Amino acid sequence: MRYLPLAFDLKDRPCLLIGGGAIATRKARLLHRAGARLVVVSPEISGELRQLVKDSKGEYFESRYHADFLDGAELVIAATEDGQVNADVSRDARAQRLPVNVVDSPALCTFTFPAIVERGPISIGISSGGAAPVLARRIRAQFEALLSPGIASLAELAERLRDRVKAVLPEARRKDFWEWVFSGPVAGKVEAGKVGEGEAELLQALEQWRGSPMPGGEVYLVGGGPGDPDLLTFRALRLMQQADVVLYDRLVSTEVLDLVRRDADRIYVGKKKEFHSVPQDDINQLLVDLAREGKKVLRLKGGDPFIFGRGGEEIDRIAEAGIPFQVVPGITAASGCSTYAGIPLTHRDHAQSVRFITGHLKEGELVLPWKELAVPGQTLVFYMGLTGLSTICGQLMMHGLPPKTPAALIEKGTTREQRVVVGDLTTLPQLAVDEQVEAPALTIIGGVVSLHQKLHWYRDSK
């Protein structure tokens, strides 16, 4: 590591900026946000830069640079288009042992500007030491995506109440308290924009912590999407990184599961056809028990937890037990798989409505409002319908849908193993056998399926 990352306190400190154009103005904006008093030297100075100087209670000189301008400066930046002037500034500043930055010239710098992620009081600097500034900016973009905008409000709340917490709790317990605040329901409410509610919960907890620490248990019900990890929400990813233990389903892809915090305990509670590893009631109770142990429990489900995912039942039990919880929606299989297969769920020429239907057999039968389903102008999406596919296609034809109605099976949709098998109501059941289609597979029926060849963009692997 050639450059040591440091945080300078520049509030009201004189910072000398040589240059008056666009590059100098960009640097001035950063210095001004940090509270610096700007001193600018350049024969020509832009209007915005003049205003920044005025706002910082600094001064500017419409003059060529000379070494006397260094007197009193605490930090120096050269941002001119004249290489000789930049070199002179670097030489003179080094002679006076002043920190100096020359834009786009790492060899002339004693410090460099990192790519900065800013969330109120929180700032993150990503530096390549001038070796690869574009790469540093790309990394910054990744951090920008991961960090909630509400982090700023959370940091400001902590700053506002820091002294109050310090007065109530001894040093040995303050760290645990703040850990609870930043990873529990207080943080969730503040980041969701409910700052007042979060502050009230923090203060209430603070009084309880006077006697004994809070257990801090919480449940995160998170939709993991249909398989492609790129389809996760940012909020889902943040909670996946906070969890102490994860309960996950069979439909959660390996790539998504790999994004869970590495040291989190993992408990498989998935269900397979004709085999239930953990009954639903036991899953519900396990979520409560783990949270009562003070753990942050991630319930990770494929697709969206509230669309044929029994998430409502789980949250009902958690709420009944008085356990704090958060719910994060995920892209449901109908949306993700159809998109990757090039099958729009609605289309002006083919379907003006869409219905999501469970195709799961109960006691060997599939009882559905077939007459309502077998109407033109709508798309039917069957979840868990592979076993009952012959029944589905037969009943729809019996109730009026034309036998040649397009139909498709999407196996392992959105993943690298995705396959799309296209036929119609008469041929699809046999195609499923011939092509050895396996679960998880989604069934889509309707005129929109005919657009698959034209619109699909995700290449099938088989």
249 included as an active-site residue: yes
What is the rounded distance in angstroms from the CA atom of residue 140 to the CA atom of residue 127?
Answer: 10
Q: Which residues are annotated as a binding site for NAD(+)?
A: 22-23, 43-44
Q: What pLDDT was estimated at residue 272?
A: 61
- Of 223, 203, 418, the C-alpha closest to 303 is 223
Residue 99: alpha-carbon gap to chain centroid: 37
* 23-81 residue pLDDT tens: 999 999 999 999 999 999 999 999 999 999 999 999 999 999 999 999 999 999 999 99
Q: Which of 228, 244, 249, 424 is catalytic?
A: 249
* 311-321 residue pLDDT tens: 999 999 999 99
Looking at residue 197, its amino acid is E
Tell which CATH architecture fits domain 14-113. 3-Layer(aba) Sandwich (3.40)
Tell which CATH architecture fits domain 218-328. 3-Layer(aba) Sandwich (3.40)
What is the rounded distance in angstroms from the CA atom of residue 389 to the CA atom of residue 396?
Answer: 11
Confidence band (pLDDT; 50, 70, 90) for 277? low
Q: Which residues are annotated as a binding site?
A: 22-23, 43-44, 226, 302-304, 307, 332-333, 384, 413
- The arithmetic mean of pLDDT across residues 242-250, rounded, is 92
Confidence band (pLDDT; 50, 70, 90) for 461? very low
* 428-441 residue pLDDT tens: 999 999 999 998 99
- 96-100, 141-145, 234-238, 321-325, range with the lowest pLDDT: 141-145
Q: Check whether 297 has a pLDDT greater than 70.
A: yes
Confidence band (pLDDT; 50, 70, 90) for 131? confident
The most confident of 50-54, 130-134, 201-205, by mean pLDDT: 50-54
Q: Which of 88, 176, 271, 460 is catalytic?
A: 271
Q: Which residues have a Cβ under 8 Å from the Cβ of 144 and sit 6 or more positions away? A: 117
Confidence band (pLDDT; 50, 70, 90) for 462? very low
Confidence band (pLDDT; 50, 70, 90) for 268? very high
Q: What pLDDT was estimated at residue 4?
A: 82
301 included as an active-site residue: no
Residue 31: alpha-carbon gap to chain centroid: 30
The verdict on domain 334-455 having CATH code 1.10.760.10 is no
CB 290 within 8 A of CB 245: yes
Q: Which residues are annotated as a binding site for S-adenosyl-L-methionine?
A: 226, 302-304, 307, 332-333, 384, 413
Q: What pLDDT was estimated at residue 1?
A: 72
Q: For residue 280, what are its two tokens?
A: 């639903």
